[in-house]
Chains A and B, each alone.
Chain A
Amino acid sequence: MSRINNAAEAQPNLPESHSPLQTPVKPGFSSHKGKKRGPDPGNKGFFKRLSKQKALFLMSFPFVIWLLIFKYIPVAGWVMAFQDYKPQLGILEQEWVGFKHFKDLFNEPMFYRALENTLGMGILGLVFGTLSAIAFALLLNEVRFLTLKKWTQTISYLPHFVSWVIVANIVITMLSPEGIINNLLVGSGILDRPINFMAQPDMFWGIVTAADVWKETGWNAIIYLAAMAGVDPQLYEAAKVDGASRWRQMWHITLPSIRPVIIVLLILNIGNLINIGFEKQMLLGNNIVAEKALVIDLYALDYGIGMFRYSFGTAIGIFKSVISIILILICNGFAKRIGEGRVF
């Protein structure tokens, strides 16, 4: 899916297929084992069948064209990375330069800073995002008072549906020198005087991570809660008979039961470690913290579009895709080895 479209997407950032307690398999249209729609294709001739399926053909044709234009032409655009692309020339009239742009990229100190920031915030987001969602799901699962449980959950995923622009505004307002966080810290004597959090480069990664946790914990917990709902109640009964406390039940029953879900989501998220996007960094960043806010996508945006170095920007994109694929393959192999089943 494209980054640009993704940037503003409010839809779940969840993997395309996962069922609680069951290792997902790659969605494949041809290998579908479910109920078949329509009459049995039989052995009729191709053209005979096609002529009967004119309507289906016409219904899908425009969208195939759409897919080719909006999804596959950009992939074909990768050739730009091996050219000195000039927009006024045709794609075949361009000068071929081989790996020049990749060499330039690896010689740029800025690139390493962008990589460090991307992976830094990616890892922090992965660790704290996963931990907070699991912890929240575990605790919410233990709440006996159902009205409280329902309301807390409903409210907890509200921030997921508002845009990063709004969340950034909220974060900046709360963390401003006059904001509530400074008021509380000064009021309780932890700080002598308010600090301008948004102007502290060292705090930027932490602020981005905290904002992410605030926005997404409730949403990410949904999948874990769904998995927890599928745990056999008899297990808890047995544990109670054995005198296990609620903490012990959480630790020894609930958590191991949702282990497969945790592992699958971890693998998918590690594959996306480098695809953290740029929205948060772009909206929360400012000149003072720019050094810590520069992520790969912003770097590609600044150089590729801002400075018209299209080929260079494309090379950055290709580098990102390659890293992403390597990460997925490594994690997948690792999951296979520890016997949790593969994602693909």
Chain B
Amino acid sequence: MKKRKWTTFDIILTIFMLFIVVITLYPFLNILAISLNNAVDTAKGGIHIWPRDFTFANYQEIFGSNDRLLQAFFMSILRTVVGTITGIIASTMLAYVLSRRDFVFNGLVGFLLVLTMFVSGGLIPEYMLIRQLGLINDFGVYIWPMLISAFNVIIIRSFMDNLPTALEESAKMDGANDFVIFTRIIIPLCLPVIATIALFLAVMQWNSWFDTYLYARGSEALTTLQFELMKILDNANISSGDITSQNAEVIAGQTNPQSIKMAITIIATVPILMVYPFLQKYFVTGLTLGAVKS
């Protein structure tokens, strides 16, 4: 392409894009700076993107002296790992069955799945169901209700539809059954789409807070990072602006709930940032795959 001269339009555009970058990143940097700043000093205000009185005290508080927050951290990791693995197994298996147009129940299973995208029971019937299944205050509530999402299954199935069938057919000649074909041939070929869906699932699990709020509030052990953050937010909100948290008693010395809140926010954001480069690479593919079908 020919080099073009920069016009006023280009300059305005560049300034505008830089503005977008700043307003997107500033809040994260501001919170990072506050989380790394001495809590007493923070109260004086004026912290922007650089800590004035640098300290790790807020993080030490979370990882050192606060058992509940540490537990919440591990529970967040646990539900993310278990939820992602089970979700991937379920969605790929179902997607494979649905990619097999010769399966006698293909139409029925597909119909039952797709219909769930249009019809949903709603908040209350689902709550009643979870209660009757005995999943209240049970780890299962993080896994079971989210096992399958029709959207994910369709993305994986579209990917499978575009795989070459030769390998599969030769395996069949050799007498391999469908399950063996699925595990030995289909799964290795589907790794790119599995990575996409795994990232979607992991982000979803990591970010969940409402299921904890509704179904697992009564269990100390099941609390998650997002839910702990939500609780602090809630307390802060009631007095609107200034924090008179019930958590205040557990926090002593050089920290305060405001700073702890910022540190939790950072801890809850960092894993997202870590998977972000991968997400980046895969999700556009995933989205396009979802679109290409039809």
Contact = CB atoms under 8 A, between A and B. Distances in A.
A165 B116 contact: no
B17 to A, nearest CB: 4
B101 A36 contact: yes
A41 B107 CA distance: 13
B25 to A, nearest CB: 6
Residue among B103, B105, B211 with max Cβ neighbours from chain A (10 Å): B103
Nearest to B153: A63
B160 A37 contact: yes
Q: Dominant SS at the A interface?
A: helix
Interface in B183-220: 200, 203-204, 206-211, 214
Contact of B107 (A30, A286, A304): A30
Given A30-B111, A55-B177, A165-B233, A40 B121 contact: no
Q: Dominant SS at the B interface?
A: helix
Interface in B227-258: 229-230, 233, 236-238, 240-241
Contact of B211 (A8, A39, A68, A161): A8
Contact of A5 (B21, B34, B146, B240): B146
A16 B155 CA distance: 9
B13 interface: yes
Contacts of B148: 63, 66-67
Contacts of B204: 8-11
| Size bracket of the A interface | 35 or more
Contacts of A110: none
A288 B239 CA distance: 9
A214 B273 CA distance: 18
Interface in B1-39: 4, 7, 9-10, 13-14, 16-18, 20-21, 23-28, 30-31, 34
Interface in A214-264: 214, 218, 222-223, 226, 246-247
Given A46-B104, A74-B120, A7 B210 contact: yes
A39 B145 contact: no
Residue among B122, B148, B152, B294 with max Cβ neighbours from chain A (10 Å): B122
Nearest to A285: B237
Interface string A116-145: 000000000000000000001001101111
Interface stretch (B51-59, B67-75, B261-269): B261-269
Contacts of A152: 17, 20-21
Nearest to A148: B17
A297 B123 contact: yes
A67 to B, nearest CB: 5
Residue among B116, B268, B294 with max Cβ neighbours from chain A (10 Å): B294
A169 B233 contact: yes
Contacts of A7: 208, 210-211
A2 B276 CA distance: 26
Given A168-B233, A198-B241, A226-B288, A11 B13 contact: no
Residue among A49, A161, A313 with max Cβ neighbours from chain B (10 Å): A161
A77 interface: yes
A314 B26 contact: no
A174 B24 CA distance: 12
A118 B187 CA distance: 43
A270 B112 CA distance: 25
B121 A78 contact: yes
A59 B214 contact: no
A224 B268 CA distance: 30
* In the A-B complex, the 9 residue pairs with the closest CB atoms: A74-B121, A29-B110, A317-B122, A77-B125, A8-B208, A163-B207, A10-B203, A55-B178, A313-B124
